[in-house]
A and B are shown apart, each in its own frame.
Chain A
Amino acid sequence: MDEQPANQASEGQDAAVERSLYAKREKIYAREVHGVYARLRVLAVLVLLGAYYGVPWLTWGGRQAVLLDLPNRQFHLFGITFWPQDFFYLAALLIIAALSLFFFTALAGRLWCGYACPQTVWTEVFMWIERKIEGDRPRQMKLDKMPLSARKIAIKGGKHAVWILFSLYTGFTFVGYFTPTHDLAAKVATLSLGPWETFWIIFYGFATYGNAGWMREQVCIYMCPYARFQSAMFDRDTLIISYDEERGDPRGGRKRSVDPAEAGLGDCIDCTLCVQVCPTGIDIRDGLQFECIGCAACIDVCDEVMDKMGYPKGLVRYTTEHAVHGEKTHVVRPRMFVYAALLAVLVGALIFSIAGRVPLEVDVIRDRIALYRETHEGLIENTYNIKVVNKDQSRHQYRLSASGIEGLELINTMGEFTVEPGRVLEVPVRLRIDPVNIDRASSKVDFEVFALDNPEIAHVEPARFLGPVLK
């Protein structure tokens, strides 16, 4: 409530503040880095993008290895076909992915951001293209300051052309996960793409071009939810990138021959290279900031400088808050056990259930009109609808049987039936029994369905048999 006056007072300043904030962001020209972590990131880029662009071309057992076939609503994953009925697996997979993120964040901080996030990975490629065409950081800055000329247009146009081509191929690959890649490639070659496929190639391509070419660090700062909440998963033992203030300060330039102790200086020569290489444009020496994506570019470049100066490496390094304050770091801590145990259980359960997955689903639906019926012969009859879902990739012929009560008779007018892959068949059946054989109002019965060509594809579904109690 007491905010009100403050609000009114600030009203006048608002316009000014907003105007300054609406100012075009200052473009960040990240300097190229070489070093251990840069090489690691290049490796991650090659592996991840290699997988992304390569996987849709893989075949497995005569069909595309990974195909989320939306037009046919089947999901092929290395020889296993999932149907919408297998939704449970998808949910489990999402939970596992979320837990892994918690686990790795608590353990090693923003590993995901620095090495594996699609935003980082594609930005890396886009920056590489930019460097190949426009030149290194100083050249890029010079080019941007240059007045418009034919040469500038040619260079900038060339860069965007390559970016757009690469983005469109990225979009094509994306669509290739949802419709067969080989068909898609043939359609592109003959210019006979469908309207929706065209739309998604352009849409995904445009998103890639915009995010990796233009938005870059703004995606991490403004759009990424993980950047905001990852601090909740951090503790004082989480791996972070930090500048060693005690060792580095006071900062200042000096000649190599000068002994810093005598000059009253720390190890930081204030060359600002760590700022120049930062893809989000922050100064790591200001402390831990949420903009830091943990890419370690500043570590690489600072180590290089320390080498040149003849100082020990690691003025900026991977460390923990505990270590920075001279305390012991505990890698093994309770939350690690909890995350690891949960992950192990979930992954184990998922693998176990996929390995033991039977591509057959049976549902028993009781007739809702009558609980039971008495026949002329004085027998008790229950009516059911048996829903049989064939989740295999080939058609099967099935046999249905019922058991559970002595003298139980199954009346199945369809006999043995065939179900096409991915199809559902409803089999209306009746169960009939002499009432002397039942001793309760509701007895358990089992329906068993199995494939004639493969008895391992079998499913037993329990149901209730209702009838009058005579005893």
Chain B
Amino acid sequence: MENGESTIPLIQRIVAVLWPSFLTAGLTTIIVFTLYDPQIVFSCVGGPEIARLGAYTVGFFFFWAINAVACVMSMYFCRPCSKVRGSVS
């Protein structure tokens, strides 16, 4: 941690956002869509008519995107505070 993010290669940072969110998206998809039928969820939010496999797919990528946002925010908040200030001024 003390070494800062400069020692972390770009590829590792990209992976640190996309990969954990992918894993948790998979898990979320399994849990949420086992409990709720994605097709019904879809029609409840006023989405267009869609095949069930399609509803699963869209749901999965939706979860992936949301989780990726969380990962990006974690990464942002992990930056040292002083550096954040520095970049603003």
Contact = CB atoms under 8 A, between A and B. Distances in A.
Chain A partners chain B: yes
Contacts of A18: 6, 10
B6 A17 contact: yes
A3 interface: yes
Contacts of A189: none
A199 B57 contact: yes
Interface residues on chain B, size class: 20 to 34
Interface string B51-89: 111101100000000000000000000001011001000
A369 interface: no
Contacts of A3: 2, 80, 82
A412 interface: no
Contacts of B34: 84, 87, 90
Contacts of A199: 57
Contacts of B52: 70-73
A87 B7 CA distance: 43
Interface in A172-203: 178-179, 194-197, 199-200
B11 A7 contact: no
Given A7-B4, A200-B57, A22 B20 contact: no
Interface-centre pick from A13, A70, A225 (highest chain B CB count, 10 A): A70
Contacts of A196: 51, 53-54, 57
Nearest to B54: A196
B83 to A, nearest CB: 6
A223 B15 contact: yes
A35 B83 CA distance: 53
A218 interface: yes
A178 B34 CA distance: 14
Interface string A1-43: 0011001101001100110011000000000000000000000
Given A17-B7, A90-B30, A222-B12, A70 B2 contact: no
- Among B12, B15, B34, B56, which residue has the most Cβ atoms of chain A within 10 A? B34
B23 A225 contact: yes
| B interface majority secondary structure | helix
Interface string A126-165: 0000000000000000000000000000000000000000
B9 A22 contact: yes
B51 A71 contact: yes
Nearest to B57: A196
Nearest to B83: A7
A72 B23 CA distance: 24
Nearest to A203: B57
B49 interface: no
A401 to B, nearest CB: 31
Nearest to B58: A196
B45 interface: no
B19 interface: yes
Given A73-B52, A84-B35, A7 B80 contact: yes
A179 B82 CA distance: 53
Contact of B82 (A7, A22, A218): A7
Nearest to B51: A196
Contacts of B37: 73, 84
B53 A178 contact: yes
Contacts of A21: 7, 9-10
Nearest to B2: A3
11 contacts: A4-B82, A7-B83, A10-B6, A18-B10, A71-B51, A71-B53, A73-B37, A90-B34, A200-B53, A222-B16, A225-B23
Interface of A: 3-4, 7-8, 10, 13-14, 17-18, 21-22, 70-73, 84, 87, 90, 178-179, 194-197, 199-200, 218, 222-223, 225
